[in-house]
């Protein structure tokens, strides 16, 4: 007796469905599962019990033919075939990994995976199983969903400098939401650079930058004035640009507001989604180290800003203290503003 799953003529077969062959009252000799375009499905056979099972993922919109060769109790060999057709997805989703290939990043950098389609709550566990983080040396860490299309992984504590990291999102055959299936496997390999941690004291109006634990420089700064207070908390440099245009309209300030601005700034490093940067602010040099007069950014002289920019990289840590305004979770790479226990538990 021969049983093939999916059965002959079956349509709309899920991509994560295994192909199984079971022979009783005979010996299973060989199994081939091949799509119309020549894709051969891999699998493993246990001839002693007459069983074969696929070990690779089905392709969408494909008709597969199963060819089974077996030997009956009299020693006669025969072959039988059957076919089935896989489903047509409503959408095929991809993933983007940050940091990208060959990046060197700071010790505070999380791994960020952005999906092109939303991931349903009921599918998140299966999607997580398709995400792999491999590190040398071995590093404890955990994933956490930040939205329905983004997940982040952080170590239990800051990365060790020199760590090598490999990330894989093996999405083929994974259903992200009803009718939405993964399209391809994406990988990234990057490394952790030197430990660079800056501390900004909002009340004292200065920034202290340390590299591998040693103080490199103390820089006079200005931060946010009343009504535009700079946020307290542990931030991570998200991007670096030697020049960037800052338009207050992007933060909800209208052009007829006296506090409206639209200007190019130099040596800008983003810290929050809401628009906090470290950058050169030559127009307020008289307030550096003395008073807080910005709209929330951390300003300093051209010379200090360029020097700091050259010392810094994406993923470096910037700790802000002595501000009454707290950093909102999710406003940037805020992975360090929760304990690892709370992070990994989802609290």
Annotated catalytic sites, by residue?
279, 297
DSSP string, 86-117: B---SEEE-EEEES-TT-EE-TTPPEEEEESS
* Cis amide bond preceding 148, omega within 30: no
User: CA–CA separation, 303 vs 333, rounded Å?
Assistant: 27
Asked whether the bond before 119 is cis by omega within 30 degrees of 0, the reply is no
Residue count of the chain, please give it.
347
Question: Distance between CA atoms of 265 and 262, rounded to whole angstroms?
Answer: 10
Structure tokens at 234: 């542990």
Helix (H, G, I), strand (E, B) or coil at 98: strand
Look at residue 251 and give its three-state secondary structure: helix
Return all residues near 262 (Cβ < 8 A) that are at least 6 apart. Answer: 245, 246, 247, 248, 249
| Contact call for residues 179 and 117 (beta carbons, < 8 A) | no
User: For residues 72 and 2, is the Cβ–Cβ distance under 8 A?
Assistant: no
Asked if 4 and 68 count as a contact pair (C-beta separation under 8 A), the reply is yes
Of residues 205, 233, 231, 237, the one with CA closest to residue 308: 237
């Amino acid at each position: 007796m021969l049983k093939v799953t999916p059965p002959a003529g079956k349509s709309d077969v899920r991509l994560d469905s295994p192909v199984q062959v079971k022979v009783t009252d005979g010996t299973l000799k060989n199994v081939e599962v091949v799509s119309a375009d020549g894709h051969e499905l891999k699998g493993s056979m246990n001839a002693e019990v007459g069983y074969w099972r696929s070990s690779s993922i089905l392709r969408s919109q494909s008709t597969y033919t199963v060819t089974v060769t077996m030997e009956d109790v009299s020693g006669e060999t025969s072959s039988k075939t059957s076919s089935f057709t896989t489903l047509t997805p409503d959408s095929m989703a991809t993933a983007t990994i940050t940091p990208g290939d060959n990046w060197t990043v700071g010790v505070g950098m999380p791994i960020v995976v952005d999906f092109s389609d939303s991931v349903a709550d009921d599918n998140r566990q299966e999607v997580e199983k398709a995400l792999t983080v491999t590190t040398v040396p071995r590093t404890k860490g955990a994933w956490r969903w930040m939205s329905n299309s983004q997940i982040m992984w952080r170590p239990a504590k800051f990365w060790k400098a020199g760590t090598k990291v490999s990330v894989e999102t093996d999405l083929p055959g994974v259903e992200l939401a009803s009718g939405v299936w993964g399209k391809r496997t994406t990988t990234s390999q990057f490394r952790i650079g030197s430990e660079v941690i800056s501390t900004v004291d909002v009340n004292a109006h200065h920034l202290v930058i340390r590299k591998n634990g040693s103080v490199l420089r103390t820089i006079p700064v200005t931060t946010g004035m009343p009504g535009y207070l700079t946020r307290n908390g542990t931030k991570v440099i998200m991007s670096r640009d030697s020049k960037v245009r800052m338009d207050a309209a992007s933060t909800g300030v209208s052009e007829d507001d006296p506090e409206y601005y639209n200007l190019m700034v130099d040596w800008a490093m983003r810290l929050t989604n809401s628009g906090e940067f470290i950058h050169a602010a030559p127009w307020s040099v008289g307030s550096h180290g003395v008073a807080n007069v910005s709209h929330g950014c951390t300003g300093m002289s051209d010379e200090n800003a360029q020097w700091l920019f050259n010392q810094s990289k994406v993923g470096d840590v910037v700790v802000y203290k002595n501000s009454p305004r707290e950093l909102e979770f999710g406003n940037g790479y805020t992975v360090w503003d929760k304990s690892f226990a709370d992070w990994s538990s989802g609290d």
